[in-house]
Amino acid sequence: MFGDLFEEDFSFVSNNQCGKGKKSKSKDTEPPAPREFTKLSGIKNQGGTCYLNSLLQTLHFTPEFREALFSLGPEELGSLEDIDKPDVKVRIIPLQLQRLFAQLLLLDQQAASTTDLTESFGWNSNEEMRQHDVQELNRILFSALETSLVGTSGHDLINRLYHGTVVNQIVCKECKNVSERQEDFLDLTVAVKDVSGLEEALWNMYVEEEYFENDNLYRCGACNKLVEAAKSAKLRKLPPFLTISLLRFNFDFEKCERYKETSCYTFPIRINLRPFCEQTQLEDSEYMYELFSVIIHKGGCYGGHYHVYIKDVDALGNWQLQICSKDPINDLFQEEESKLMTNEKVQKDTENIKEMENPLTILKGILSEEESKQIPVDQLGQKLLEKKGMSWNKKYRKQYGPIRKYLQNHSQIFQLSPDDNKVSLKEMYHQLQFGSDCQGQVLQSPSQNNDVQWTSESLCTVLKDSASGSHWFDLNDSKVQPIKEKDIEKQFQGKESAYMLFYRKSQLKRPSEAQANPRYRVPGHLLNEMDAANIELRKRRMDCDSADNNIDLRLHLGSHYKLYNGALHPSLSWKESVLDLTTDKRKTLGDLRQSIFQLLEFWEGDMILSTAKSLPAGLHLYQTLDGDEMTLGGIGLADGADVFVWNGKEVGGMEVLPGLDHEPVLLNVLRLAGYNEGGKGQHFIESQHVVPCSAELSTLWKALASPGGIILMNRSGSDKEVENWQVVPEEDMRKTVRIVGLADGSSILVLDSHDQSLVNVASGNLTAFMHDISWLQVKNFCQLEADEKQVKITATVETVMSDIKIKAIQELQLGEELVDDSCLRPINRNGKLLSPVPEDYTVKEAELKMGSLLGLCHGKAPTSTQLFLYFVVGSDLQGAPEMEIVVEETASVRECLNVMLKKSGLPGDNWHLRRIDWCYEAGEALSEEGARLKELNVCSGDTLVITEGKLPPKGFLKVPIWWYKPLMHFGQQESMQDQVNCMMGTLRVSPAGDSPTYIQSDIGLCYAGNVEISGEAFLEDLKIQAMTLPFFQELSVPSPEFLRAWTLESKRPGKLLRNNQQQLNEYKLGGRTEICIEPLQKEENLGPSDLLLRVQMGIPGERDYYHSVDLVWDISKECTAWALRHRLAAHYSLPVEKIEIAKYFPEKFEWMTISSWTQQISKRKRKKKQESLQSAPFHLKDGDIIGVKNLLLEDGKDFSTVRDDIGKETQRQLAMEKKKSRQAQRLQNNVFSEGKVATKHRKPEVALSINVGIFR
C-alpha cells in the first residue's frame, strides 16, 4: 500500500497550480507525464489510498455507473465554483467524481489525482496515509453517494445498479407452513475458509438446507408447537451488477491474532446463478454474469497493497503491443538482450564487435540444440557447465540470481512446466533459425501463429489476447499494464490474491458508438474543461522540453586567472572572473564558440575551450573540447559544467598542464610539537600542501621530512584512530601519490628521529596518537566531604591504573602512605561508587572512557583474581543499606556468606544467600554452599542478598503451607464496599516463624508454616507432614483423602494437585512454590479427566448467588458448552433450555456467558469438532466459578452482582491513579530522557468515514 508513499502530486487539474521555474528541475514544476501505450490513465497514490484507487477504477470502468453520474447536470448538483457561497448547496462528492472520471477518460496524463475528491470526503492528510479495507470503503462510498443524491433524478442510482434481495425461508415439515424474511444487499459476502471456490460458497449459502431436528426443534407459528423444519435461502432479485466480497481475513482464537486466508479459492469468468435463485423459469440470459473486475490484495492482515484487474468493456485502452523493425533478427530479442548488455561497452566499428557471452544467448543455444522439446532445469545447468567449463552459480548467479528465477524473468522466451522443473523454448523461438553471417541467409517462414505476424518489409510482434474482445488491464495506482485473461487464475491463492469480485449481467450490451469513444456521454462543460486542459498541457510540455534542454555553463576566463601552488585561482573577484551562459545542449560546439565571441567584447588569438573542475586545491583543467560540428550534449557538457576559455598554452605567463595525471591533491601535513603542560599533553601543528597526483612519495619525503625522519599516511584524514596510520615503506617511495591512495583531505604525519618512539617499526603502525592522549577526572574521597577536590590526570588508553592513582595522589597533595591503602572507583551518573578497578589494568582493559570521573577511596583495590561484591540484608532491598566486601573468586558460597555475616554483625548460621533479579528483588538462591563463586558466574560488582532461613538439603523442597477455605456467600450485615475491599486485599507474607499469622477473609488464606520434604516423596506424604503443623493440630482431619492441595499463584489457588501417589518432582514445583491446603467434608480422589468447578445458583429476583458447591465433571469424552450445560441441568434437575451459564473472572469482576447457541448446522458441518471450553476464550480449569441462572424463575440473563459493579469502579479509580502517577513520573524524568529515541508503536485502527452534507 505504501509503494508510492513519496510520490508527488503533479496533477495539472488539481487546485494547486504549478508555477514556471526555468531551472528548478523539481517535479512540482513539471507537467504530468502523458499517457503510456495503453492510452489509459492510472490514479496517484496519496500514501495509503491504493484501496480507494482500485475501487474508483472499478466504478470508472462500469460504464452504466459512469454515464448515470454524468447525466446529472449542474442544475441538480450545483457547481464547484459555488462551494464557498453559504446559501448555495453544492453536492461536492458527485461533482468531484464526475470530474475525476472525465480526467480518467480524456485528460492526457499518466495518472490522475484524487486530492480534490478526498478533500470532499472530509479527509485530512492523516486519513490519506492510513490503510483501510476496500470492502468497507465500498459500502461507505455508496452510502455517501445515496445521501448526496437525495432529491435528484439520480437518487436511486445505487439501488438501480447494485441492489438485490435474498429471501430466507423456514418450512415446517408437518403443516408445510412457510415463514420467510427478505433481506436487501448491495454486495454479497462469501466465506473463503474451508471452501474451494465461489460456486461452492454460493451452493452452501443458497442451495444446501439446514435442518431443525432432534433436540433442536423449530416452533412453528401455525402448529404452535416445536416441530422439525428446514431452513434455506435463495436469491430473489438479481442486480445488474453483482459485487462479491471474499472473507479473506479471519481471527485465530488459539493464537489470539488475525490472519489472512491464502488457500486456493477459484471463481469463474462466467457464472450461471440459476441454481441459487428462487425463480428459475426465466431465460438463461437473465442468470448469466460475466466477471469484469477483480480487486486484489497483496500482503497480510495488518497491511498490504491493493491493485485491480479490469476488463475494458468499451475498448477504451490499447491492449495490443506492437514492435516493428526492418531487422527481425536484432529486434526480436531486443527487450531481453538489452538488459544484459547495459554494462557492456558497444563499439561503433562493426568489424571490432566481439561476441558477447550473455546467459540469454547461451541458454537459447543449448535449448535449440536439444532434440526433445523439454529439458530438466538441473540438466540445463549441467549442460552449461559442460559447454562453458563454468557453472551458473560461479559465473552468473551474483549478477542474475538463481537460474530458475532467471528463466521465470524471461518468460517471453522460456516456457517452464507447471511444476517449474522443466524448461523449453517457446514455439515461436524454435521456428526462428538465424545464420552465422548475413550473406546468403534466408529467414525461414514460420508456421502460422497468431502471436507473430510477418510482412515483406518488416517483422511485427503483436501480443493479442486469446479470447477476442476480452481486453484486461492491471491498474496498479499510476501504472497500467495489459494482462491476459488467464492471468486472473494466478490470483486464486497466495499472499497476493483476489479480495473483491465484480460481475455484470451478460445481457448488458454496450452501444456501438461507445466503443473506443472516451467522449461518449461526457457532459459538454467537462468536455470543454478537459479540451482546454489538454491544450495547456501540450504548451507546458513544449516549454518544459525547451527548459530541459537548456544548460547553464560557467565560463572561466583565462585572462582573469593565475597559476598558484599547482592550481588555478582567480586573480580578481569570482564575479569578474566567471561568466554565466545559458544555451541549448542540442547546439553544436561551434555555436557555443560563436556565442562566447559575441559575449566577450574582444578576444585576441586562438580560443581554446577546456572542461574544468573546482577541487579543494583550486581549479584544474581536463579535456580540450574539439569537433565544432558535435552537439554539446554529445561531447558530454551537462548543466552546471565549468568551461575554461584560454589560449591552450599558458595562464598568466605560466604553463598549465591539464589532464587527470596532473590533478592537484590537497594534503594535511601534521608535525608533533613539544609537551604542553596546560593542554592534553603532546599535540600537533597542521599545515596544508598541494602536490600533483603524479608526484612520487620520495619527492614528498625530501620536501617535508628531515634527515633520519619518517612519514606516515592516513588515507581517511586526521580525525581517525591509531590503526589508520601507517608508515610509508621504503619500496613505496617510488610510487606516486595517486597509486598509494592519497586523495584530497588525506593526512601526512611527519616524525623526526626523536619522535619515532611512538611508532612500532615492525608493524608499521602508531603505538599512540595525539588524539588518544586525553585525561581522566579523579575526585578525593579519602578525606572529609568539605575537603573533596577534583583534578584532571593526563592519560592514554594504554596508561596503567596504578600510574593514574599515583599522579592523582601527587596532584591532590595527599600523603604517600595512601599509595598502598587506596583505590580508584568509577562514579556513575547517579553519583554511586562502583567496584574498584584493578591497578594492573590499563584504561582500555578497565573499559573507561576518556573524561570519566573516578573516586580515590580508602582500601586496597581487588586484584584480577578477587571479586568486589555488594550485599544487603533482609527482604526490604530498597531501604536496606548496601555493604561491600572483597573475596577471592575461588571462595565458596559458605565462606563468602561468613565474611558478609561478620561484617554486618549478624549472629547464628540460619542464613543463606540469594542473587538480585532484574526487578531488584531477592531472586535465585545460591543453594550449593560448597560451590566456588567463579563456578556460579558471580562477577565483580554483583549484589547478593542475605536472607533469613536455612536452605533445605539437596533434593529437598522447602514448601510454605497455607490453609485455604473457599469463599462462601457474603452475609447481609457486611457492606458491599467492605466485601469488595476484602476481595481486592493483598496477601501478607508470612514472617520467618512458623506461627499462624493474619487470616485473609477475602480468599480464606492463612499461613500455617513450612514443610521440608524430599522431592521424591508423594503428594500424600506432603499432606501428612502438613497435618503435623501446629495450626492443623487444632483441626480435625481424619486422613489425607480429606485434604485438597493447590499451588498458590497470584495470591489465589492455581493448579490442583491430584493423585496422592504421584511424586512431587513430577509436578515440577519450583524453588519458590507455595501450597495451600483445602479441607473437605468427604474423601476425594480425582482422576486425570475430572474437572473441579465451583458452581453457584443465582438467587431469583436478586443480584446475588447461593453458596457455591463443588461439581466434579468428567471431560474424558468432550469439554464443550453443550456437554457442560447438560451436566449442570442434570445436577439441578432443570431442562437444558431453561438455564443460562457463565464463567466468573474474579480478577476483573466480570462474567462471560457460555453461549447457548442453538442454530442448526448442516449435516456436512455437523461432523466438525466443537470448540473446547479449555481453549480460548474461556480457558476453563480447576476451581473456576460457574454461575447458573434458572430461566423458569427469572428472565434476566445478567450475571453481575453489586459487588462486581463496585469492584469495577474501584479498579477504574486505581487505574486512573496509576495513570496520573505515571504521567507525573514522566514529567519528572523528562530531563533524563532527552536524546532518547521514542519507541514507534503501531497506530491504532480508526474507522473509515466520509462526511456528507445534508440535502433532504
Residues assigned a catalytic role: 50, 305
Element (H, E) at 797: none
Phi, psi for residue 611 in degrees, rounded to 5? -75, 145
- Spatial distance between the Cα atoms of 668 and 688, rounded to a whole number of angstroms: 5
Using DSSP's 3-state secondary structure scheme, residue 429 falls into helix
Q: Which cell goes with 594?
A: 560563436
- Look at residues 971, 1001, 972, 997 and name the one whose alpha carbon lies nearest to residue 984: 1001
DSSP secondary structure code for residue 115 in this structure: H
The full DSSP string for 12-26 is TTSSSPPP--SS---
- Spatial distance between the Cα atoms of 780 and 814, rounded to a whole number of angstroms: 9
Q: Which amino acid is at 1115?
A: I
- Spatial distance between the Cα atoms of 60 and 43, rounded to a whole number of angstroms: 11
**Residue/partner pairs of 367-371 with CB below 8 Å, 24 or more apart:** 367/414, 367/423, 367/424, 367/425, 368/425, 368/429, 368/430
Q: Residue 326 burial by CB count (10 A; 0-12/13-18/19+): exposed, middle or buried?
A: exposed
- Spatial distance between the Cα atoms of 276 and 279, rounded to a whole number of angstroms: 9
DSSP secondary structure code for residue 821 in this structure: S
Q: Which cell goes with 1005?
A: 488464606
- Look at residues 1252, 1096, 1112 and name the one whose alpha carbon lies nearest to residue 1189: 1096
CB neighbour list of residue 573: distance below 8 Å, 6 or more residues apart: none
Look up cell 590526570; give the residue: 793
Q: Taking a C-beta distance cutoff of 8 angstroms, is the pair 790, 779 a contact?
A: yes
Look up cell 447457548; give the residue: 1156
Q: Taking a C-beta distance cutoff of 8 angstroms, is the pair 1122, 1170 a contact?
A: yes
Element (H, E) at 447: none
Helical ranges in 523-649 per DSSP H = 524-549, 574-577, 589-599
How far CA 164 is from CA of 183, 186, 279, 614, in Å, comes to 9, 6, 14, 74
Q: Taking a C-beta distance cutoff of 8 angstroms, is the pair 694, 665 a contact?
A: no
Max Cα-Cα span within the chain: 128
Using DSSP's 3-state secondary structure scheme, residue 663 falls into coil
Pairing of strands 956-964, 1075-1079: parallel
Element (H, E) at 1163: helix 1163-1166
- Spatial distance between the Cα atoms of 1256 and 1252, rounded to a whole number of angstroms: 12
Pairing of strands 943-948, 911-916: antiparallel
**Residue/partner pairs of 729-733 with CB below 8 Å, 24 or more apart:** 729/764, 732/697, 733/696, 733/697, 733/698, 733/701
DSSP secondary structure code for residue 333 in this structure: T
**What is the end-to-end Cα distance of the chain in Å, rounded?**
37
Q: How crowded is the C-beta side of 873, counted as CA atoms within 13 Å?
A: 15
Q: Taking a C-beta distance cutoff of 8 angstroms, is the pair 78, 72 a contact?
A: no
- Spatial distance between the Cα atoms of 437 and 432, rounded to a whole number of angstroms: 15
- Spatial distance between the Cα atoms of 800 and 596, rounded to a whole number of angstroms: 70
